[in-house]
Amino acid sequence: MKAYIAVAASCAAVLTAAAAPAAELTFLYTSASGSTSWTQSSTPSVLFHGLGSYTDVIVHNGTETTGGVTQTFSDLYFRNSVNSGGFFVQNGPSPIVNDHGPQIYSGSEANPVFAAGVYTLDNGSLTVTDAVPEPAAWSMMLFGVAGLGAMARASRRRRVAA
């Protein structure tokens, strides 16, 4: 029995210590005029970045809806706090969504890192959620359930033996 516990603990340590891949995040921006949503990596590929001002990242499934009209987009820029924070979405020469507020990413413009959270912007709210739990979270959940099962089994054996 002790050997099983040692093996399980070793596996848990290896699974939780392994570097987790970048999480896929879901973004939803809502304002009085409509909504905008997209998915992107928590550590996205950067198409272009203005040194010290903003970063242009690759997004997936970008849609913007205003007045019942939906259009797709792929150009998304996040500004840093020096440049009023927030983000803007562009589809052609002019922005279709443009809002200011806190800086939404950490790291540099060349290597931005995004995290789940709710950001209050000047004209709306941006909600960022994890699309799928990371492998480390799954392993902790599995080992937690296995531990509960082992405890229940051990308590049943003690009751039968008594």
pLDDT 10s digits, 17-52: 444 566 788 889 999 988 888 888 888 888 777 766
Tokens of 108: 């540099």
Identify the band that residue 121 occupies on the pLDDT scale cut at 50, 70 and 90.
very high
Long-range interactions of 27-31: CB distance < 8 A, separation 24+: 27/126, 27/127, 27/128, 28/126, 28/127, 28/129, 29/87, 29/97, 29/99, 29/121, 29/124, 29/125, 29/126, 29/127, 30/124, 30/125, 30/127, 31/99, 31/123, 31/124, 31/125
pLDDT 10s digits, 83-101: 889 998 877 777 788 899 9
For 142, residues 6+ apart whose C-beta sits below 8 A from its C-beta are none
pLDDT value at residue 135: 67
Mean pLDDT (whole number) for 77-81? 87
pLDDT value at residue 66: 74
In the chain, what are the domain boundaries?
A: 24-131
